[in-house]
Amino acid sequence: MDWCVEVEGLHKSYETLSPGERVYFKNDNAPTHFISVIYWSLLRKRVLIEVLRDITLRVRKGELFGILGPNGSGKTTLLRILAGLTPPTKGKIRVFGEETDWRQLYKFTNYIPGALVGGGWMLHTLSAYENLKIRARLFNVPEERIKEVMNLLGITKFGDKPVGTYSSGMLARLEVAAAFLKDAPIILLDEPTAGFSPEVEREFHEHLKNIAKNEGKTIIYATHMLHFAETFFDRIAILKRGEIVDIGRPQELKERLGTSSTIEIVIIPKNPTAIVALRDKSKLRLDRPFVVERMGEHRYKLRVSCRETEETLMKLISTVIERGFLIRHIVIREPTLEDYYLSLIEGWKLEIN
């Protein structure tokens, strides 16, 4: 197998100081006619924080590889290690079959943090070509490469206009051009579409996918947005609390849910007791993984995956009514990648009485 990146037993941890706690000392030698004096001091302890635990994965050459996970799951730390910006605590990284020291990984990668996407790194008084030229000099890239990526993304005709006049969609194209300016075989993207409108986000992904295919780049893309993952990525790794809980193709992951349908019920609590039941999920007492999503001030969506649709639906209806909810909407649909993801990240298994 032609693997581009191989990660084996990767760990990342660091020491920090705890917030501290007050330790009180009573002065037993104080005179009896005085109130005993109490002294306190701030005691801080060293705490070991594990960010990544035993990460093992392989990414094929030319693959669109997604890393999904909630905030704090370790996605950014993993990408920063692969970019050569952060040392791992232990573990091995191989690039094109050869074990590589983390300090040398920058030679193979181009890391694009989300904070730079959308034009934050550019001088808006300069043209697109001038901005790309400045960045090209940082990476010692010839000017011919600037013209290549501008042609691939269709921004050549706008290349002489000041970046400050660009729309958000044009800025997204320009960021893709900058990402591929350094002719590295591996592109690392960390939440690149934060703050994008849906149409600009769609355009960004289309250009990213096309140029990666045309130039044979390997894309490793970290996100917690699931709406495009099913069609964009070839394979996906799901992180939870610094560990990989599953890896596979989107269709494979959906099939692992092992269900025939997903039921979504929009409910409205009728009394404070019902609201308490939403805050403490155990009080809903469902016998399968479920997720509660707040849709507004007084509206919630209850999502359940199941095999026996009719039987499960009847139980759900009776359960939510008994717990003090009004039912406003019911939808039955095929399971999605989002359903499987949420079953891993936020799933619950409880008993019905």
Q: Within this chain, do residues 244 and 269 fall inside the same structural domain, yes or no?
A: no
Q: Within this chain, do residues 134 and 282 fall inside the same structural domain, yes or no?
A: no
- pLDDT tens digits for 314-349? 888 888 888 788 899 898 888 788 878 887 887 543
Instruction: Give the Cα separation of 172 and 325 in Å (integer).
Output: 44
Among the three residues 254, 269, 287, which one is the final residue of a domain in this structure?
254
pLDDT of residue 279: 60
Q: Within this chain, do residues 235 and 325 fall inside the same structural domain, yes or no?
A: no
- Number of domains forming the structure of the chain: 3
- pLDDT tens digits for 191-248? 877 666 777 778 778 878 887 888 888 999 998 888 888 889 999 999 999 999 999 9
More confident of the two residues 334 and 69: 69
Mean pLDDT of 63-76: 92
Name the most confidently modeled range: 29-33, 177-181, 298-302.
298-302
Q: Within this chain, do residues 189 and 283 fall inside the same structural domain, yes or no?
A: no
**CATH of residue 174:** 3.40.50.300
Among the three residues 223, 254, 285, which one is the final residue of a domain in this structure?
254
Among the three residues 254, 282, 300, which one is the final residue of a domain in this structure?
254
Residue 44's pLDDT band, with cuts at 50, 70 and 90, is: low
Nearest in space to 109 (alpha carbons), one of 188, 169, 41: 188
User: Does any domain span residue 351?
Assistant: no
- pLDDT tens digits for 254-268? 888 766 688 888 988
**CATH of residue 268:** 3.30.70.1150
pLDDT at position 281 over 60:
no
Domain residues for 34?
3-48
